[in-house]
Structure formats: C-alpha cells, structure tokens
Structure 1
Amino acid sequence: MGNRWIFDGHIAGIGTLSGLRAVIGVWQASPFGPFADVMVQLPSTQRILLAPTPEVADFVATTYTFDEVRVINVDVSLEPGTLVVDAGPLTVNARTGGRTALGLALRAVPRSLAVRPGWLRAVSPLAGLLSPGARTSGTAGGGRHESYGVTDVHRISHADVSWAGQSAGVLTAVRPPVTFGFSSVPAQPGLARVLTTVCDLAPDG
C-alpha cells in the first residue's frame, strides 16, 4: 500500500464576471497542519497556485496542474456567514448563506460512508450528472488517486473579489469549469465541507 494523505476542511468555489475563478481550500487538519491555499484560473486560462509554504506548494503542484506556483502568505478567515481571503494579489470578502439542494441531499448520507474512497469511486459518474464538470474520484498527478468526500454545501451569496488591485467583477457561476485536475467545483458558487483523500495507489475503499 502506498502513502495516503487526508485533508479535512472546506473548499470554496467562486466565479466572477471578469472570468477569474478561484478555488479556496481551508484545511483544519492535514499532514501539513492547518493551512489554506488558493487555486486561481485567470480569464486568460492561466492557472496559478497560491500556497503558504514550499512543502504545501510542492505537494499540491504535484497533485494538480498549474502554469505558475507562488509561495506567499495566505490568510483566510472562515466564520459562520463569512469567508475572507488575503493572499498576495487575491482578496476575497464573501458571504455564505443557506444549505444548497445538493447540500441537503448530501446530509442524508452517513458521513462514515460519504467519505469512503470506494463509495466515492462508485458515485463519481452520478456526481458528474448532477454537477457537470464535478467528480468525486479520479486520477491525480504524480501517479496518485484522489477522492473528494463532500458532506455539506452552503451557497456563497455575495463576494467582492480583486486581483492585483483590480475588481474581478460581481459573483457569477464558475464557468467554464476550472482545469486544475480531473474535477471542477460545482458551477454554483458554494462552500463545501469535505474530506479529501490522496493515495499513491488506487484505494481499496
């Protein structure tokens, strides 16, 4: 059995009118301790990773695909109703709202089942039908396999986003889907509770 890395926390997906899309990871528990990182796809399609340490940057850049990696201070505050990000060129001030229809459906699945890699492999095709571009299980970079165990989703109702000091425009759907890996976040801007499992070998569930 190969190495296994487990990340427990939240993922936020945000789209803007300018075409900038951001995927924000807020990890309360991980092999690297608590941290936050941001994947940004610019309107030009350029993919940029903003990571807080060289170790995090190396792991994430091996697992996903980027055109540029920046190691910078990534400050994220996640509180009930708010998400605030200050990460070099990117700032986000977002409001979170009620649970989405997908979140309601996910709450009906016991967490012990919902985060199992074997279950996530089985339901991945269904996830793609419910949310085009999204998958729960697939092949990652570096010869790794990755599973996303999402157990809840709340909508993001408003976000002020700027890049390099310029407004990115009002909050919109995450379209086109981001292309960092085998899966995109759902099109509806949202904050997901997630347990991510990354393995050197395909998990046995």
Structure 2
Amino acid sequence: MAPLSPTARTTLGRLAEKGRTDRAELHALLDTALVAHVGLDAGGYPLVLPTAFAVDLDGPDRDGTLYIHGSTAARWINAARGAKVCVTVTEVDGLVAARSGFESSMNYRTAVVLGEARVVEDADERQHALDLMVDHMVPGRAATIRRPTRKELAATQVLAVPLHEASLKVRQGGPDDEDDDVADNPWGGHIPLYRIAGAPVGDEGSRGPVPDDVRRRAEQLGASVEADS
C-alpha cells in the first residue's frame, strides 16, 4: 500500500508533525465521515459544495477510488468533468479550551484529496458506485430497497476521483499551552465531541418494525432501538 502525500502538493508544510502517512488512517476517516466538500473552478470563480460520497478501495483507480454524485443538470457536475478538483473530508472530535486564544483549537481528522474528476460512463460501475453511497450511510441498505429506474439513473451523474494524491492531518488531546500560561491559569483541556444518533423515526407510510439494516446502523451510532419498534 502506497504511503500518503506522494506529491509536493499534498506534503504538509505548517504543523507537519500532525500529518499522517498511513493510508489505513485515511481509509478509516473516509469510512466514518458522511459528507465531503468538493472544490473546483466553476468557470471563472471557485466553488465548494457538500456532497455524499463513497470509497471503493478495489476500484479502477490507483490506491482506490472516491465516488461523488450529483444531478446531471447541475452546472458544477458538468464543470467538474475532466477537471482537477479538491475533495476534503473533516471530522471534528473535540473543542480545545486553551489558556490563550492563540492555542485555542479543535481536535480533528481532515483529509485532502487532489485529482482529476472522471465521469463514470460505464453503467455497471455507476450502479456500483451509487450502491456504495447508499451503503455508506446505512450498510447493507442497497440490497433491500428498490433498484433505480432508467429515468433516475439518467438524472444522476457520478464522478470518480483517484485516492492516490492525498494528505491526512490529525490533532488530538489537550492544548499546547506555554509554561507561563499554565502557571498563571489553573485549567486547560478539551471537550470531546461525538456523533450520537437517535432512534429511527418512520414516516407516515411505514409499517412494521424498523428494518434490520437501519436498526444496526442506528445502534452503531449510539441509538437505543426498541425490539418491537
């Protein structure tokens, strides 16, 4: 498995000691996070948009493939076709309450992926990518729901970005306070943050118990789900 930061563009400069080079850590972040932000040149101005995503480590691109999607009618999707894009994924794990404003910070895991966005034209790959996105939110869900229609597939575009050129930066723990600040102020630390789910809420058309795939995902995220719900 190739290490991270294979190019000068993704080699960290400032706070390089917080950089990680193990691709397994990048994969763990991409497995946990739910939203990616895609940055691109939208025709004379920069544009950054949030999007659902999924990763296929056995995909056609070197070191794995990151898939993102949008409407075929969206201007940004068409602007991204064959263009160089920047995809970022961030999870905030805590608030760092330092003894000075300069050292106040957040604990985080953040990835930056650079690459050329390839439009997924192959029907099988596109369907596979869309299934991965559904399963990224609720693992196993794609196999239990209706398959997309031709009309729905025609309205959906999928872009693939290779995971080869990427960087990962992680901050953990408490503040890096100066010794004088520690002597003058008795407390510094951090507030851990967690993503906690509530119990699944069915819509007006729901009948019967919560499906097993939804129940497992909710429980994985910390929800308490009644057996007969």
Q: Quickly name the TM-score band, shorter chain normalised.
A: under 0.3
Q: Which has the higher helix share?
A: 2
Give the structure-1-normalised TM-score. 0.27
Q: Which has the larger radius of gyration?
A: 2
TM-score of the pair, normalised by structure 2:
0.25
